[in-house]
Chain A
Amino acid sequence: MEEILKTRGLKAYYGEQEILRGIDMTIPRNRVTAIMGPSGCGKTTLIRCFNRMHEATPGARIEGKIWLEGKDLMSMNPIQVRRMVGMVFQKPNPFPTMSIYENVLAGYRLNGIKLKRQEEQRIVEEALKKAGLWDEVKDSLRRRGTFLSGGQQQRLCIARALAVNPRLLLMDEPTSALDPKATRRVEELIGHLKETVTVVVVTHNVAQAGRVADYTAFLYWGELIEFGPTSRLFTTPQDPRTEEYLTGKFG
């Protein structure tokens, strides 16, 4: 298993409160890794450390080590990190002032990167195809992204993140605001994505982790309780707390 991201003794604070209590974890390349656990266990905080978004909140700080492709993430500029690590949020958040086309290109345009028209069109088409949205919107690229349905908006956000060719794509409960049908489409999409990008998806839905993830991590109270191939973790959990969670005893 080739690794893309590694943490050692990762601690995260929010003010005085310790949210992550020393996480050692390795994320495999071109696989889907699910992070699950009860609400408030630090799942979202963990992936927000991976792109240094945690520090964007006032009073928040990180301790410990993170390496991305062997490079020390904590010594890099957060802005540089975020251009390598894409993120999709709980609630679809396309930019309301931009068209679908502009939304896909936001990672370039907002960073002041000018592209040739043909180049732009190629990137938009490619990203929308990867996100499985191309056929639905190819005739309305100039319309506002906010006119799309919730599920389409979320796939637009995925396309926006993919357009800048990230090494790693973080997804923070990407289906929690979607209906079951839209959820299924996003889950199928995640399965296809791992051919080109590594995906880390946070979920509080055990079944979803089972459906989409090659590897699953179980986080509880700021600690990594268990991590392993999903099939192994689901069938023979090593820790009693994992078993309790999987059988729905808490969370």
Chain B
Amino acid sequence: METSKADKVFEHLTRALGLLVLATALGGFVTLCILSWPSIKAFGLSFLWSRDWDPVANKFGALPFVVGTLATSFLALLMATPFSLGTGLFLTEYAPKKLKEVMGFMVELLAAIPSVIYGLWGIFFLVPLVRRLEMALNVPPYGVGAFTASLILAIMILPYATSVIREVISMVPRDLKEGAYALGATRWEVMRFVVLPYARSGIFAGIVLALGRALGETMAVTMVIGNRNEILKGLFAPTNTMASVIANEFTEATSRVYLASLVEIGLILFVITLLVNIAARVITERLKVNQEGFS
């Protein structure tokens, strides 16, 4: 009798802690809504479209940051995708076994480097480099700005996309590839007509997942984007992202509405990354169904 009571207690304990995880997520969403309420009430939907960010006049709009985040993230994705794909193919189909291990470890290392160290390297290496490029191109040589931020984001998200791509490519059935080789196809033709089409949706999921990472990335971006609260004026212009404006101004937010506006930006960021992650999940779920269909 006593033992089955202990069993019940243990079951309730684990369930309660499971509920804690659920409560953290739900409570987090509710907390963000409550804290941003003054801003939601004051600005309504215009918060999303307004480009004013004026702490003195207590007028706030998120558009510059939404644009900044989306622009840098998509640019980073554009830059990272071919390299992730190439690395994914190389690590599964091209590299000899020893090299595979070494490079696999290096890609993991790339993912393990803390964001703030990317930022440090960005400030002291990438920014001067971009400044030279800007001088050559005859644009104002800030060094910092959207382009630098995208560049560093591209390096940071590459390992995430690569690890997913690598996994889906390694799941392509061997007999499919061997069938194509047996017909006299070259390695590239096998990649082009068998491997990549088969792994297509998985590769897409990996890219979407990497996008989710880029959207929420804070420190490295904050350190090289220039932190200017105005809407993006050009590829090299300094601007701000949603994450970086929160990082920069949260401890300085003096008025209630100011703080609430920053939290509302956090809420928008939360919702956007949520949607992106759901999209990635839907793609991978569908992938699973497809593969069951194959076998």
Direct A–B contact in complex, judged by CB atoms less than 8 Å apart: yes
Task: Give a binary string over A56-77; 1 marks a CB under 8 Å from any B CB, 0 the rest.
Answer: 0000000000000000000001
Q: Which residues 242-292 of B have a CB within 8 angstroms of A?
A: none
Does A79 count as interface, using CB distance less than 8 angstroms? yes
Does B14 count as interface, using CB distance less than 8 angstroms? no
Hey, which chain A residues are within 8 Å of B4, CB to CB? 77, 79
Task: Give a binary string over B182-198; 1 marks a CB under 8 Å from any A CB, 0 the rest.
Answer: 00000000000000000
Q: Considering only CB atoms and an 8 Å cut-off, how many residues of chain B contact the other chain? A: 3
Hey, which chain A residues are within 8 Å of B3, CB to CB? 77, 79
Hey, which chain B residues are within 8 Å of A79, CB to CB? 3-4
How many A-B pairs have beta carbons closer than 8 Å: the answer is 5
Of chain B, the residue at the smallest CB distance from A80 is B3
Of chain A, the residue at the smallest CB distance from B1 is A77
Q: Which residues 1-34 of B have a CB within 8 angstroms of A?
A: 1, 3-4
Report the minimal beta-carbon distance from A243 to chain B, rounded to whole angstroms: 44
Q: Which residues 30-80 of A have a CB within 8 angstroms of B?
A: 77, 79
Of chain A, the residue at the smallest CB distance from B4 is A77
Within the assembled complex, what's the spacing in Å between the Cα atoms of A79 and B1?
9
Q: Which residues 69-96 of A have a CB within 8 angstroms of B?
A: 77, 79
Report the minimal beta-carbon distance from A175 to chain B, rounded to whole angstroms: 33
Q: Which residues 156-196 of A have a CB within 8 angstroms of B?
A: none
Within the assembled complex, what's the spacing in Å between the Cα atoms of A77 and B3?
9
What is B's interface to A at a CB cutoff of 8 Å?
1, 3-4
Within the assembled complex, what's the spacing in Å between the Cα atoms of A79 and B3?
8
Within the assembled complex, what's the spacing in Å between the Cα atoms of A77 and B4?
8
Report the minimal beta-carbon distance from A60 to chain B, rounded to whole angstroms: 17
Hey, which chain A residues are within 8 Å of B1, CB to CB? 77
Within the assembled complex, what's the spacing in Å between the Cα atoms of A73 and B1?
14
Within the assembled complex, what's the spacing in Å between the Cα atoms of A33 and B4?
32
The 5 A-B residue pairs whose C-beta atoms are closest, nearest first, are: A79-B3, A77-B1, A77-B4, A77-B3, A79-B4
Within the assembled complex, what's the spacing in Å between the Cα atoms of A50 and B4?
19
In the assembled complex, 5 residue pairs joining A and B whose CB atoms fall closer than 8 Å, in A order, are: A77-B1, A77-B3, A77-B4, A79-B3, A79-B4
Of chain A, the residue at the smallest CB distance from B7 is A79
Within the assembled complex, what's the spacing in Å between the Cα atoms of A77 and B1?
7
Report the minimal beta-carbon distance from B283 to chain A, rounded to whole angstroms: 32
Report the minimal beta-carbon distance from B8 to chain A, rounded to whole angstroms: 13
Within the assembled complex, what's the spacing in Å between the Cα atoms of A77 and B7?
13
Report the minimal beta-carbon distance from A51 to chain B, rounded to whole angstroms: 15
Hey, which chain B residues are within 8 Å of A77, CB to CB? 1, 3-4
Report the minimal beta-carbon distance from B295 to chain A, rounded to whole angstroms: 26
Report the minimal beta-carbon distance from A89 to chain B, rounded to whole angstroms: 22
Report the minimal beta-carbon distance from A76 to chain B, rounded to whole angstroms: 10
Q: Which residues 208-234 of A have a CB within 8 angstroms of B?
A: none
Report the minimal beta-carbon distance from A100 to chain B, rounded to whole angstroms: 27
Within the assembled complex, what's the spacing in Å between the Cα atoms of A19 and B247?
64
Of chain A, the residue at the smallest CB distance from B2 is A77
Report the minimal beta-carbon distance from A147 to chain B, rounded to whole angstroms: 28
Within the assembled complex, what's the spacing in Å between the Cα atoms of A144 and B1?
34
Report the minimal beta-carbon distance from A169 to chain B, rounded to whole angstroms: 22
Report the minimal beta-carbon distance from A144 to chain B, rounded to whole angstroms: 28
Within the assembled complex, what's the spacing in Å between the Cα atoms of A79 and B4?
8
Report the minimal beta-carbon distance from B11 to chain A, rounded to whole angstroms: 14
Q: Which residues 1-36 of A have a CB within 8 angstroms of B?
A: none
Within the assembled complex, what's the spacing in Å between the Cα atoms of A147 and B175?
36
Within the assembled complex, what's the spacing in Å between the Cα atoms of A122 and B3?
28
Within the assembled complex, what's the spacing in Å between the Cα atoms of A68 and B3?
21
Within the assembled complex, what's the spacing in Å between the Cα atoms of A79 and B6?
12
Of chain B, the residue at the smallest CB distance from A79 is B3
Within the assembled complex, what's the spacing in Å between the Cα atoms of A27 and B269?
69
Report the minimal beta-carbon distance from B260 to chain A, rounded to whole angstroms: 48
Report the minimal beta-carbon distance from A116 to chain B, rounded to whole angstroms: 24
Report the minimal beta-carbon distance from B185 to chain A, rounded to whole angstroms: 44
Report the minimal beta-carbon distance from A56 to chain B, rounded to whole angstroms: 12
Within the assembled complex, what's the spacing in Å between the Cα atoms of A94 and B111?
39
Report the minimal beta-carbon distance from B3 to chain A, rounded to whole angstroms: 5
Within the assembled complex, what's the spacing in Å between the Cα atoms of A74 and B1?
14
Of chain B, the residue at the smallest CB distance from A78 is B4
